[in-house]
Amino acid sequence: MTVSLTFETSSFSIAIQYRYLERMKIIISNASSEPIYEQIGRQIKAQIISGELKEGDGLPSIRKLAKELHISVITTKRAYEELEKEGFIDTVGGKGTFVAIQNKELLREKRMKSVEDMMSDTVTEAKKLDISYDELREMLSILYDSNDE
Amino acid sequence: MNTLEISNLCKDYGDFRLDKVSFDLPQGYVMGLIGPNGAGKTTIIKIIMNLVMKQEGQVKLFGKDHREYEVAVKKRIGFVYDTPGYYQHLNLRQLKNVVSPFYENWDEAVFERLVDHFNLPLNKTLKKFSKGMGMKASIALAMSHHADFLIMDEPTSGLDPVIRREVLEFFREFMQREDRSILFSSHITTDIEQVADYITYIRGGRVIFSKTKDEVFEEYALVKGGNDLLDYDTRSALLGVRSGAYGFEGLTHNVNEARAVFGDSAVYDRATLEDIMFFTGQKSKTVL
């Protein structure tokens, strides 16, 4: 079973500078062998790295998230704790949870790492199909040029 | 802080006994009590509510002894009975007038909101209520005095899927405040899978386990494979086995250990609470 939903955080009445989080998307699959807290963490992280979630964006409270996703508060708490440990989000007592001020260098490094990971998957797959380095480079070059905006 | 602490609870009925039942429910969480019929779930709930006398052990509600501070702790509890069988000749408004004077914190506005939320008729006699309406009425009556601990015995049994979901959604809404807690029993295991943070499994008057839902699903798994994988040794690594003509299915409470025993040729699936109850409750073979 796959539950998909999109929701909006309620606005807070506190005068601090942050963007309202308009849309955050989390899809939980109960059929996946990946634990639910990891599914949440991975998706939030991806949205931070891609820039969909920006510094200072407010995240829903663990109770709100648990209610919306029909999962345990313990699970959402664990997902947030992991994200906090990795420096992606900050919890401000009494105010809520926010996307952390990201170290620009670090963020770029993380995004580079994700490009590297994808390339590594590409190479693995290509080798299985006996695609040579030159062929692969050719493909990459075409894709790179055609993707120019 | 624990909303509920139960330690070494014993009660002997002769043909059935609760045997050193212990578990805690931390504040801010939902606990589901599962177990087959006659496992002792209702007895435990009745002892918590002091409707049945315990023989040994201790029950603490909000950190206080449940009998010594009975009046004080019960003010904070919303209790929903198994079946709302009382005063069938009254309508909901009349029943509310009977119940509300018992609570000094009774809040008429909350009651009206709940009646409205659940679409309940105030002027219809209770005997004409459907089972779903009856349960919603019980919840409304139990929740109108600002209780922060909701205790329910089988709140969702006998309800259709639509109303069950509505009731579960109400629990989630109630739990948006972190100073609240819920304890409910059910043998509809999917309801517990959906809303519980902690699961306590009772069987034959004993606690089989009491842990977070995540722990339960990380530890337990179904192992499926060909019958050639089953022998005396591998069988003992499983809590229960159902073997058929084309293969077997068994339960493990340590998926890593099972992987070491059965290897890659077996399939490892997520176990549901129903699987856990079924395989741990298997009687020895050949009934017919």
pLDDT, one tens digit per residue, over B163-219 is 899 889 999 999 999 999 999 998 889 999 999 999 999 999 999 999 999 999 999
Same domain, A83 and A43: yes
pLDDT mean over B17-22: 94
Same domain, A132 and A95: no
Measured between alpha carbons, how far is B9 from B207 in angstroms, rounded to an integer? 11
Closest CA to A24 of A2, A66, A53: A53
Same domain, A18 and A88: yes
Share of chain A above pLDDT 70, in %: 83
Total of domains in chain A: 2
- Classify A38 as helix, strand or coil: helix
Same domain, A39 and A83: yes
Segment (H or E) for A28: strand A24-29
How far apart are the CA of B116 and the nearest CA of chain A, in angstroms? 22
Which residue from A30, A33, A75 is facing B214, i.e. has the nearest CB? A75
Q: Which residue carries 């015995």 as its tokens? A: B153
Q: Which of A61, A78, A99 is the last residue of a domain?
A: A99
Same domain, A34 and A82: yes
CATH number of the domain that A25 lies in?
A: 1.10.10.10
- Neighbour-count burial of A126, counting CB atoms closer than 10 A to its CB (0-12 exposed, 13-18 middle, 19+ buried): middle
The answer, yes or no, to whether ipTM is higher than 0.90 is no
Task: Find out whether A52 and A22 touch, Cβ atoms under 8 Å.
Answer: no
pLDDT surpasses 80 at B120: yes
Quick: pLDDT tens for A68-105.
999 999 999 999 999 999 889 998 887 889 998 877 77
Same domain, A63 and A113: no
How far apart are the CA of B233 and the nearest CA of chain A, in angstroms? 27
Q: Which residues from chain B sit within 8 angstroms of residue A80, using beta carbons?
A: none
Which residue from B29, B218, B270 is facing A73, i.e. has the nearest CB? B29
Measured between alpha carbons, how far is B195 from B172 in angstroms, rounded to an integer? 7
Same domain, A47 and A9: yes
Quick: pLDDT tens for B50-73.
999 999 999 999 999 999 999 999
Domain limits for position A127? 104-146
Q: How many residue pairs from chains A and B have C-beta atoms closer than 8 A?
A: 37
CATH 3.40.50.300 fits B2-212, yes or no: yes
Which residue from B178, B195, B197 is facing A74, i.e. has the nearest CB? B197
Give the chain B residue whose CA is nearest to the CA of A63: B176
Whether A72 sits inside 8 A of B213 (CB atoms) is yes
pLDDT of residue A18: 37
Which residue from A33, A63, A74 is facing B212, i.e. has the nearest CB? A74
pLDDT surpasses 50 at A2: no
Same domain, A54 and A113: no
The token duo for A129 is: 């199909």
How far apart are the CA of A63 and the nearest CA of chain B, in angstroms? 6
pLDDT of residue B234: 86
Quick: pLDDT tens for B72-92.
999 999 998 755 566 888 899
How far apart are the CA of A29 and the nearest CA of chain B, in angstroms? 12
Task: Find out whether B8 and B207 touch, Cβ atoms under 8 Å.
Answer: no
Whether B197 sits inside 8 A of A72 (CB atoms) is yes
pTM across the whole model: 0.82
